[in-house]
Structure 1
């Protein structure tokens, strides 16, 4: 048995143990980081100007066995880097969310970033109000000409019905652009938290808005119940949730790895003139993956909302809580249940233990 075969067997064995999640989320970012570092080292970028001819000569002088050996070493190095980065996943996510500590410099940066996002939200709200006022004013003007009456003299319900009817008419088509812009703004504003809960990053705001919204129609706190749902939900729902989480984790790790690669390039090429522009390659990739990360986070929380919708009664039964008769009673019960799950001692919850002949609610029953 050769050394290269032993390395391959070892890498395969470890890969089989860590599973599919690590093979995707761990190996792909680690492989890029190892290859990027190998290119910087092989081109002598860490000692001076990158020597591309030297890099080309090194690659052209390799034999098939050399390529196989190098590939195995790269895979082994990627495995090691991936294993090192794996326990840092939570910290990387928190970093991109905007949890940067409570030190003096951190507070200054947090205040600057949060103020910027709050101003952006205020601008969006003002723009939305302006669009709706322009649309309402234009429709009222058409209604005034049609009925020879001032729509402001009508009650709110009647005026809204006539506005909707006028918008659906041929004359109201001129306001379709305003309506489309309003709908787009509504989607953006919905993905942001309220002003008092603003985070310093776009990812943090998307997750914070979802945390404040998901499950609230039932009185459930998604943070307090996430682990509980992972134990009681139907397996196919959990598989769907796991796929969404894996996509989110992959984009987070890729973003951080590209930032690390940017720092490596800046460190090696800082004194090499125009070569420093090569650092823009991983930086651009980090920007793209960050935008993808924001989208993946929204998708993950949307899947989480669906899991809660379909499995909340199974959660109640698992906690031996009486099933609610209607949505009002459900919110009232969950208000106390959430306090209890938050480890508060004062809330009082009435339990209902199932009898032996009572069948359990199947997971996924809404």
Structure 2
């Protein structure tokens, strides 16, 4: 049953993230090719008239082949959108220019936020606050700008040195750095272990957000590819060249959607760390920390051991029996039952 469930999840992931966007892309290319734009005047009326069962089969085969070819590249596509562009000089120059842009943007938001806070404090001393029904338009606008700047600043890492070239990269980097930070636990390298001990509901939440993120990225990549193909097909067709704006708008919209979903994925990642770090100690037979400071010290030592440091010694806690562990994974703790 577990193997069947795992296969179902993999099949659903492949269908949603790989097959559906690729099928739309291949179907769009088919419509362009049948429109007559390649070597002749555009005539959309002939597209459906010449549609045959063999053409549908060809679109299906090419869709599956394309989905299979792109599926192993999904992680690389996400990294591309995050801004990991290598060290080759042209890409490095572009990355540094984009990083400088985002650093200036962060600095400007921070400066404007401080200015708004000081302005509100001065207005409050004068008896003018946004909480009052008769608060002035200026103080209401300043308060709104302060809150909006906080929201925008949340899309960037806390430290300027962590800023990446793209919006998506900066959102993900923020949560990669902050998830588990208060406990001294680095989220990204420990996430696979935490996922192995998490409850199904918690893991499903993380996987759902990850699937939405990767679907948005894959759709955006293929939409931008369709934009280039449209320009190539419609270059000599006059006003039909504007058709390229349709897949471009879709690609940009999906990218911005990926940035939004990245926040949800980051929250899911942080939640998984917070709710399952003690379960990780149990599975590794490590003693439970008694305070936050003890936990930070223990996590520092744990990460050194998991990184291969053989110079540390750790005393193990008493082992939990498999039966007890299974019960704790499936049943709610005592006292959680609802009285009917």
Residue 109 (structure 2) pairs with residue 137 (structure 1): no
1:321 partnered with 2:306:
no
Contact 2:31 2:47 (C-alpha < 8 Å) held by counterparts: no
The runs of at least 4 consecutive aligned structure 1 residues that moved more than 4 Å come to: 15-18, 166-174, 355-358, 363-366
In 2, Cα distance between equivalents of 1:35 and 1:321 = 55
Q: CA offsets, 1:11-68, max 9 Å, x none?
A: xxxx98961111111121101110111012112323354x21xx42352255xxx3x4
Q: Does 1:33 align with 2:3?
A: no
Which runs of 5 or more structure 1 residues have no equivalent in the other structure?
Answer: 1-14, 144-165
Check the 8 A contact 1:27/1:79 in 2, yes or no.
yes
Match of 2:233 among 264, 268, 271: 268
**Structure 2 match to 1:56:** 45
Residue aligning to 2:315? 350
The answer to whether the 8 Å contact 1:259/1:282 transfers is: yes
Whether contact under 8 Å (1:224, 1:341) holds in the other structure is: no
Please say if 1:197 is aligned against 2:162: yes
Residue deviations 1:282-317 (CA, integer Å, cap 9, x gap): 111110000000011111111111111211111111
- Aligned: 1:206 with 2:191: no
Residues of 2 paired with 1:114 and 1:356: CA distance? 51
**Quick check: 1:115 aligned with 2:79?**
no
Q: Indicate how the Cα distance of structure 1 residues 268 and 347 shifts in structure 2: closer, same or farther if over 3 A, else same.
A: farther
Unaligned runs of 5+ in 2: 1-6, 334-340
From the CA coordinates, give the structure whose radius of gyration is larger.
1
Query: Partners of 1:56 and 1:239 in 2: how far apart?
Result: 46
Using the TM superposition, give the Cα deviation of residue 131 of structure 1 relative to its aligned residue in structure 2, in angstroms.
0.8
The residue aligned with 2:3 is none
In structure 1, what is the equivalent of residue 337 of structure 2? Answer: none
The alignment of Structure 1 onto Structure 2 pairs a total of residues equal to 323
Matches within 5 A, 1:225-236: 225-236=190-201
Distance (Å, rounded) in 2 between the aligned partners of 1:345 and 1:271: 67
Q: Distance in 1 between matches of 2:321 and 2:72?
A: 43
Q: 1:124 to 1:20 in 2, by over 3 A?
A: same
User: What do you get for the CA RMSD once the two structures are aligned?
Assistant: 2.6
Cα displacement (A) at 1:167 = 6.2
The answer (yes or no) to whether the contact 1:34–1:74 under 8 Å persists in 2 is: yes
CA distance in 1, matches of 2:320, 2:263: 41
Corresponding position: 1:101 with 2:63: no
CA–CA distance in 2 between the matches of 1:346 and 1:307? 30
2: distance between equivalents of 1:34 and 1:95?
A: 22
- Cα gap change, 1:72/1:358 in structure 2, threshold over 3 Å: closer, same or farther? closer
| Residues in 2 aligned to 1:102 and 1:229: alpha-carbon distance in whole angstroms | 32
Residue 356 and residue 279 in structure 1: after superposition, are their counterparts in 2 closer, same or farther (change >3 A)? closer
